[in-house]
Structure formats: C-alpha cells, structure tokens
Amino acid sequence: MTATTSPAPETLSRRAGWLAIAAMFAINGSIFGLWASRIPAFKATHDLNHAELGGLLLLLAAGAICAFPLAGRLADHFGAARVTKAFVFANLIFVLALALTPNVWLLGAALFLFGAAHGGMDVTMNAWGAEVERWAKRPQMSSYHAMWSLGAGIGAASGFAAISLNAAPLTHYVIVGIPLTALLFWLGNIPWTSPLNRDSKAPIFSIPKGQLALVGLLALGASMGEGAMADWSAVYLVDIGGAPENWAAMGYAIFSVTMVIMRLLGDWITHHTSPQLAARGSGLVAACGAALTVLFPVPPVMLVGFVMMGIGYALIFPLAFSRAANDPHQSPGKALAGTATFGYGGMLLGPPLIGFIANATSLRVSFGVLAVLALMIAVLSGALRRDE
C-alpha cells in the first residue's frame, strides 16, 4: 500500500472499515464457538477417551499449521481481503462436514480440513485488519480480537440453547451457523483493494530471537490457555465438575464474554498503566483462576475460575502483537510473523497437549499446567518493554 493510493473508495467510512474487519473476526470466532460448544457431543457419539480426543484435536492443529504458509501465499497473490472472504465459506462448509461424519476416521479428516480453513482465515483476516488499521490511522487490533471473542461466545451460547432443546450438532449448525455467517459476511463485504506482493522474498515462518522470543513465549502461554478453554472447558465441567451438559456449553460462553469486555478495555488499561504491568497482573489473575478450577472443582466455583482466566488471557495477545509490530530491531512483518507462529501454534497445539496430559494423569493436572503457564506470563512480562 502506498501513501498516494487508497485501498478503499472515498465513500467508505472509517466506521464501515472497522465493522467489516470486526465482522470477519466474529465469523471466525462464532464458527469456532459452534464447534467448541458441541465437543462433548462428538466425544460421546464416537465414544472417545481423552487421548483419542486429544489426537483428533491434534489433527485440527495440524491442518491449521499446514495452512499458514498457503494462506500467506494466497494473500500475497490475490490480496488479504479477497482470500479472507473465500475462507469464510470454507469455514462454514467444513464445520457442517464435522456434523455429517459417520465414523472417527472421517471426523479426523474433517477436523484437519476445518483446522486448515480456520487457521488460514486467522492469518488473512489479521493481515486485512492491519491494512484497515493503517488506513484508518488509529489503533484497532485489540477491538478486532474482542469481536473474535464475542463471536466465539455467541457460538458457544447457541450451543447452550441447542443442547437444552436436544438439537443434534448438524441441526444446530444449520439453524445458527448459516444465517449468522450470512449476516456477518454481508457486513464485511466491503470494496477493498489489498496490496499484492507476488514476488515477495520474505520468509513464510520466522522464529523470534532475543527479547522478541520472550514476547513469543508470552503469546504462547496465553494462547495455550485460550485454546484449552475453547476445546476442554466443556469437557472439564462435565467430567470433573459433574455439571449438566448445558452448563458445560455456558462455561466457554462466559469465558468468551469476559474476553470481549477486557479486550474492549485493553487500550484504556494499557494507557493508564504500562504493557508490562498489564501483562504481569493479567498473568497472576489467570494463574489464580486456573488454580481455583483445580482446587475447588464444583461448577459455580469453576465458572468463577473461567471468568478470571478470561480476564487474565484477554490482553496478552494484543499486547504481544503490538510489541512485535513496534520492535526497533526488526521489520514489523518479520517480527509479527514470528510472534504469530508462537501465538497461533500455542492455541492450536495446546488442546491436544491437554488431552495427552489428561490421559496420562488427569484433567485436573492439565489445568494445573495452565496455571504454571499463566505464572510464566507474569514472570516474562518485562519483555513487553520496548528497547530504544
């Protein structure tokens, strides 16, 4: 994008630009929330133990990781806006496919494809969001991520209603997923010309070094917790807390709503404290929340723990991305690529890791690991201080 060429027509308002990206983040989050809220149903239908469910979630992660470089190349070649819109339809198709799988083998294949669509859209919608943010000349990334959490909460809350009505996952996904995606896509379908970079020599993946490696670990700790909450909070409430299945769906919904509120407040909190102080406090709150769910595994207390984990995890991802984008030693693209690898890798690899630990020990031990990772965030919070 050059200074003399606008990617948007003059008639497009800054508000419409923000709304379009917010809608794309909400689509991605809501479809993921639809899946996450019905994981216990898939677990029961296919008679999966914790390790088997963890293995299937690993296929979802593998699909996303394989899609990262492809999504980046597609965005360079065709433009982030165009590719993001295409990924919307892929996400919807593959979440519907999950509900149609008759056996665990086809479920695994569908999860791999769903993970690829979800992960690919993660890359391209963030790239498009960065374009709109630069065009608008105001910070917006934290609010975009808030809309992802809002979408995930809506998707999970619809699971509460669907389970209460004894609706099968396919019925749930058709009645909620299709019209919700259509509405959000309509809001996000703005005229936008993304810059093309078909001859880019930039590396697809970049591993952070030095202080940025610590920033990457901050993102990893938070994203592993967020991913574990998405895929395991429902199972944890049912298996450990003995909650009814409809309570289980509300667990992730409450967590997501908390994330939305905190991310909407994120810029104000950081402005009145500092990135490192905000991260230190966030890590300690998340650690206390995870510990609460382990020490007092009864549904009301566990839900309080989930709220505290939502408070603690909400700001870390935006803070890490902001620090990477403003690194004085590396270009924003290279720094963001490395941080995203840690962040999204943790979100995708965390859930299967939780499954393997749970199978070897217990789910309570797995959530104890989340408490330790949250403490790591507090310890490494100084990495968010910017060197001059």
CATH code at position 217: 1.20.1250.20
CB 20 within 8 A of CB 189: yes
Element (H, E) at 201: none
Q: Are residues 378 and 235 in the same domain?
A: yes
Instruction: Supply the pLDDT for residue 128.
Output: 87
What confidence score (pLDDT) does residue 248 get? 72
In a domain, 199, yes or no: no
Give the span between the Cα atoms of 136 and 319, in whole angstroms: 20
Dihedral in degrees, nearest 10, Cα atoms 83, 109, 237, 233? -30
Residue with tokens 């990457």: 216
Residues 165 and 39 in one domain: yes
Domain of 39?
13-190
Q: Which amino acid is at 143?
A: S
Select from 156, 190, 224 the last residue of a domain.
Answer: 190
**Which DSSP letter does residue 76 get?**
H
Shared-domain flag, residues 171 and 225: no
Tokens 């995708």 belong to 348
Query: Is residue 1 included in any domain, yes or no?
Result: no
pLDDT (0 to 100) of residue 91: 96
* Among 3-12, 218-227, 348-357, the range of highest mean pLDDT: 218-227
Query: Residue 124: which of 169, 79, 63 has the closest Cα?
Result: 79
Q: Is the pLDDT of residue 378 over 90?
A: yes
Residue 5 placed within a domain: no
Do 184 and 39 share a structural domain?
yes
Confidence of residue 185 (pLDDT cuts 50, 70, 90): very high
Last residue of a domain, one of 130, 155, 190: 190
Phi, psi of 85 (to 5 degrees): -60, -40
Sign of CA dihedral 148, 149, 154, 160: positive
Say if 197 falls within a structural domain.
no
Task: Tell whether 182 and 251 lie within a shared domain.
Answer: no
Dihedral over Cα of 202, 203, 209, 211: its sign: positive
User: Looking at the structure, do residues 291 and 234 belong to the same domain, yes or no?
Assistant: yes
CA–CA dist 206, 339 (Å, integer): 8
Residue 116 contacts residue 97 (beta carbons within 8 Å): no
Based on the fold, state whether residues 217 and 95 are members of the same structural domain: no
103 and 241, same domain (yes or no): no
Identify the pLDDT of residue 4: 43
Q: Do 33 and 174 share a domain, yes or no?
A: yes
The answer as to whether 269 is a domain residue is yes
Please give the distance of CA 315 from its chain centroid, rounded to a whole number: 13
Same domain for 186 and 246, yes or no, is no
- Reading the block at residue 12, the tokens are 């497009």
> Is residue 196 domain-resident?
no
Which of 158, 190, 222 marks a domain boundary?
A: 190
When divided into structural domains, the chain yields a total of 2
Q: Is residue 198 part of a domain?
A: no
Residues 212, 177 within the same domain: no
Kindly state whether residue 108 falls inside one of the protein's structural domains.
yes
Pair 171, 229 in one domain: no
In this predicted structure, what is the pLDDT of residue 182? 96
CA dist list (Å): 139 to 132, 348, 387: 10, 27, 21
Tens digits of residue pLDDT in 127-176: 888 788 888 887 787 888 889 888 988 998 898 889 888 999 999 999 99
- Residue 269 is predicted with a pLDDT of 87
